[in-house]
Structure 1
Amino acid sequence: MSELLDVPQFPFPVTASHPGVWRRDQQSAAVIATAPAQTDFYINPGGADSTDAETTLTGATLLGLPPAGDFQFSCRVSVDFRSQYDAGVLMLWADERHWAKFCFELSPSSSPMIVSVVTRGVSDDANAFVVDDRTVWLRVSRIDRSYAYHASTDGTTWQLVRVFRLDDEIADHRIGLEAQSPSGDGCTVTFDHISFTSQRLTELRDGS
C-alpha cells in the first residue's frame, strides 16, 4: 500500500512505496527515511545460477512524475551506515525491468562509496569513488533523452559519474528517492537541500 507525501521541494506529487518509512522534518525541511531490513533494488546479471539473489525489488521509494523536458534534481544525502550496502539513493523508475539508481552506499570494505546501477532487464553495477564522510551531494540531470549522474563532496564542484539512456519506449520516467539496507536490519537516510529545476545542464563533463 502506498501513501502520498507532501514534499514542497518537489513541484509534482510524490508517492511512498512503504507506509511509515518516510517523514518530513518540519524545521529543516529534510526528508528522512528509515530503510526496512533486507531491502534493495537489484537484478543480478548472473541470473538464477548466481550466488546472489537474482531479483530484489523491495527498496523503499518516494517517487513522482516530473514535468516533460530537461531537468536537474539534486540533494545532500546523509546515511547512518550500519551494514554492508546500506544506502541513500536518487532513483529513476520506468518499470520493474527498467530503472536506475545513484547510491551513497557502504562498500564491503566499510567505506562510504558512490555507486551507480542502471537496469535494462538486468542490472549494470559500477563503483565510482570513496567518500571520507557520511554525507555527500548527488544529482541526476535529464538532457534530451539521456541522463547524467554527478556527485559532489561540497555541493559546488561536481564530478561526472555516468551518462546513459534508460528506455525510450516507456514514456513515463519517475524520479525521486530510495532507502535500502540489503544485508542489514535497516538504516536511517536524511535527504536535505532538495532541489528540482527545469534548467538544462550545459556542461556535461564538469557538471556546471
Structure 2
Amino acid sequence: MKCDTKKWYWLNEPATWHLNDGKLQVVTDHKSDFWQTTWYDFQRHSGHVYGCEVEGDFTFQVCVEGDYTTLYDQAGLMLIQNEQHWLKAGIEFNDAQPMIGSVLTNPCSDWATGVFTGHAGRFWLRLTLANGALRLQYSCDGEHWPLLRLCPFSAASCNFIGIMCCTPEREGLAVTFSDMRISPPLGKALHDLS
C-alpha cells in the first residue's frame, strides 16, 4: 500500500523540498548528519528525515534517486526510536565512490559499508521490522532484493520510519524519493530475494 503522506512530518526540515504526486524532492542543508560518538567522538542529529510513526511490526520500501559526489553525501531510509537508538541505510559517498551501507546506533553508532554493484543514481531499499529483528534489503532494479543487514532491534510501542538524506561536508545534494510504501511485515524466508 502507498503511504498516506498527510500523516508524515519532518525531523530537521530542509529549507528546500517539494512533495508532488507521491514524489518527494529534497535539497540538503549545510552540514546535516546523523552520528553518535564512535571514532569521531561527536554527536550529530541534524540530518533530514521525512516520515511517520508506525505501531508494531511493518515493512517500509522506497526508491531513491540522487547524484553523490562529495565525501559522506548520503540518502536512503531511517528508523528512529530516539537519538541513541536508530538505523539509517542507503548510498553514502566514501572512498571516492558511492557505497551501500548502514549505521546502527545503540547507543553508539557503528558503520557497515561495501561496494555498490548497481547504478547508485537510482536504487531501492526495504526494511522489515518483525519479532524484535530488523531485516534490511536493497535492490538495483526493484525486483531482486539481497540482504544488507540482519540485526536485533529492541521493541518499542511506536517507531518513526521514513526517508533520510544528509551532507555532512556541504549542502545542495538533490534527492528524489518515490514508491514509498508501508505494509504489514513481509513474511518471506530470509533467503527469498523477491
Q: Do these two structures clear the TM 0.5 threshold for a shared fold by scoring above it? A: yes
- Pick one of 41, 50, 65 that aligns with 2:34: 41
Secondary structure, counterpart of 1:36 in structure 2: coil
Q: Which moved more, 1:96-105 or 1:125-134?
A: 125-134
Distance 2:69 2:116 in 1: 17
Hey, what does 1:148 align to over in structure 2?
135
Q: Per the alignment, in what secondary structure is the counterpart of residue 111 of structure 2?
A: strand
What is aligned with 1:5?
A: none
Aligned partner of 2:112: which letter?
A: A
Report deviation, 1:179.
1.1
Count the aligned residue pairs: 191
In structure 2, relative to structure 1, the CA distance for the partners of 1:11 and 1:205 (3 Å cut) is farther
Which of 125, 131, 136 in structure 1 is aligned with 2:123? 136
In structure 2, what is the equivalent of residue 22 of structure 1? 17
**Structure 2: segments with no counterpart, 5+ residues:** none
Alpha-carbon distance between aligned partners in 2 of 1:165 and 1:10, rounded to the nearest angstrom: 28
Mark the CA change 1:32 to 1:53 in structure 2 (over 3 Å): closer, same or farther. Answer: farther
Superposed displacement of residue 99, structure 1: 0.6
1:177 aligns with 2:170: no
Conserved? CA contact 2:56–2:157, under 8 Å: no
Residues 1-208 of structure 1: pairs in structure 2 closer than 5 A = 9-10=3-4, 13-17=7-11, 18=13, 20-26=15-21, 29-46=22-39, 52=40, 54-69=42-57, 71-109=58-96, 111-133=97-119, 134-168=121-155, 170-208=156-194
TM-score (norm 2): 0.89
Give, in whole Å, the separation in 2 of the partners of 1:10 and 1:147.
23
- Please identify, of 12-21 and 92-101, the stretch whose mean Cα deviation from structure 2 is larger: 12-21
In the alignment, the residues of structure 2 paired with residue 190 and residue 90 of structure 1 have an alpha-carbon distance, to the nearest angstrom, of 12
**Structure 1: runs of 5 or more not aligned:** 1-7, 47-51
